[in-house]
Structure 1
Amino acid sequence: MLMLIEAALAVTALVVALWLKPWRMLQGPLLTPALAAMALMPWMWLLPQHMPQGLQIQLSGASLLVLVLGWPLAVLVLAWVGLAVWVIGHNDAVTVLSQWVWIGLAPATITLGIGPLLRRWLPPNPFVYTLGRGFLGTAAAVFLSGILLEMLHRLVGGALQEQVLIARWLMAWGDAFLTGMFTAIFVAFAPQWLATWSDERYLKPAKH
């Protein structure tokens, strides 16, 4: 049952992303970070397979990918990452599908939803972007993805374990630190690598 839900979510996200034709954005400066993500993220997702048993540190990177590439192109890159993890790693297709959905697509989609909320309720300045979208937004997106997964497990007959939720909460902050750091660096030195950044919006003089 859970696998069917995950497959439906994955197919829906992929179809929507393909319909938006995001590869057109690769004609500009986003080609470099897209290729870098395709080369590096599979190894980040494979990290738990090479760590001692019981020490499963799983970073997502999906929120950063959305900030850099936008949601549609991020979905396609995440599809490549999932495929690479399946081919290179030793997990079966069902496990990789779950990883793709809950480590990749879910936090990426939640990150997409956080953006309009921050734009609606908070002032447009670089601090709000880097802290709100890069740091706190990532922590929220990754943790909410974990909660959704645990709730689905419970709906299909599993048990909701408090220790698992605590672990997901702690892991979310690792992703938040990573995304917040790179977001701040890109804002300062390479804003052209952030599809969700706008000089006109975030750097325009405040109106008095």
Structure 2
Amino acid sequence: MWLEYLLALVALAAALATRPWRLLASRKPLVHESHGAASALWTPLLATLVFLPWLWALPTLHQMPLQLQWSGACLVVLMLGWPLAIPVLLAVGAIAGVLSPALNWADALGAAIWLGVVPATLALALGALVRRFVGTQPFVYVLGRAFLGTVACVFASGVLSQWSGHLLPGVGSELSLVARWLMAWGDGFVTGMLTAIFVAFKPEWLATWSDQLYLQRPPQ
């Protein structure tokens, strides 16, 4: 459990050092790729705090032979940016612990780290690599970062979680890896689909999207 505490403290300190609340307090972008309408991020932030805790707590709210778990962290990073996503995901873990009587605080912290902080951080690193080596095209953003990137990051986080001792209940280690691989694809499909919809209709909900960067539009 000390590893989860350490990861949470390091990630939270690094995120807060960038003062991510500036994205919510003004319309000025925090980083070069942020969309101009920063105040619109209140909508995805509040939606994350309302819906994601229930999805994290769902496997412990009823009996299931296989506890399928959706992360959603990569989508949160695309919507809020990594600095703002980290405290939000830690808050989601705390809320999930309140919602589920079967989820103690150690399990809630583990969920916040392995379903939230770790895949979110991997998504940040992968996004930087995709922009650097593949380019800044809408197709690359949706397919590379939102879809395939989510699959890779969620599965890698699941593998690291299993190596740290977090096994799926009632499932062997080999079958557990297969289950995590399949769950990562489900996460990727949902993230890719929603990201494509947001790019088309609600780009202001994506802090990591920029018309100037991905569509080569001049600033207005």
Say whether the fold is shared (TM-score over 0.5). Answer: yes
- Aligned partner of 2:158 in structure 1 is 146
Runs of 4+ aligned structure 1 residues displaced above 3 Å come to: none
Indicate which of 89, 110, 125 corresponds to 1:78: 89
- Which of 172, 177, 198 is equivalent to 1:186? 198
- Within a 5 Å distance, the mapping from 1:125-136 to structure 2 comes to 125-136=137-148
Alignment partner, residue 157 of structure 1:
none
Percent identical residues: 52
AA at the equivalent of 1:196 = T
Cα separation, 2, equivalents of 1:5 and 1:80: 18
* Paired residues for 1:63-142 under 5 Å: 63-90=74-101, 91-142=103-154
Task: Show structure 1 runs of 5+ residues with no match.
Answer: 155-159
Alignment root-mean-square deviation, CA? 1.5
How far apart, CA to CA, are the structure 2 residues paired with 1:124 and 1:193? 18
* Aligned pairs, number: 198
What corresponds to 2:9 in structure 1? Answer: 11
Q: Which of 190, 193, 196 is the aligned partner of 2:208?
A: 196
Question: Which residue does 2:31 correspond to in 1?
Answer: none
Q: SS state of the match for residue 47, structure 2?
A: helix
Distance between the aligned counterparts of 1:149 and 1:79, measured in 2?
A: 16
Structure 1 match to 2:42: 31
Look up the equivalent residue of 2:189 and give its one-letter code.
F
Rounded to whole Å, the distance in 2 between the matches of 1:22 and 1:148 is: 27
TM-score w.r.t. the length of structure 2 is 0.86
Question: What is the alpha-carbon distance in structure 1 between the residues aligned to residue 104 and residue 59 of structure 2?
Answer: 14
- Say if 2:53 is the partner of 1:55: no
Post-superposition CA distance 1:15-55 (Å, at most 9, x none): 11122111111131111111111111111111112343313
CA distance in 2, matches of 1:37, 1:152: 27
* Distance in 1 between residues matched to 2:99 and 2:165, nearest whole Å: 27
Amino acid at match of 1:9: L
| Structure 2 unmatched runs, 5+ | 26-38, 167-171
Q: Which moved more, 1:166-175 or 1:116-125?
A: 116-125
CA distance in structure 2 between the partners assigned to 1:168 and 1:44 by the alignment:
16
Contact 2:61 2:100 in 1 (8 A): no
User: Is the Cα–Cα contact under 8 Å of residues 94 and 109 in structure 2 kept in the other structure?
Assistant: no
Structure 2 Cα separation of the partners of residues 51 and 132 of structure 1: 35
More helix by share: 1
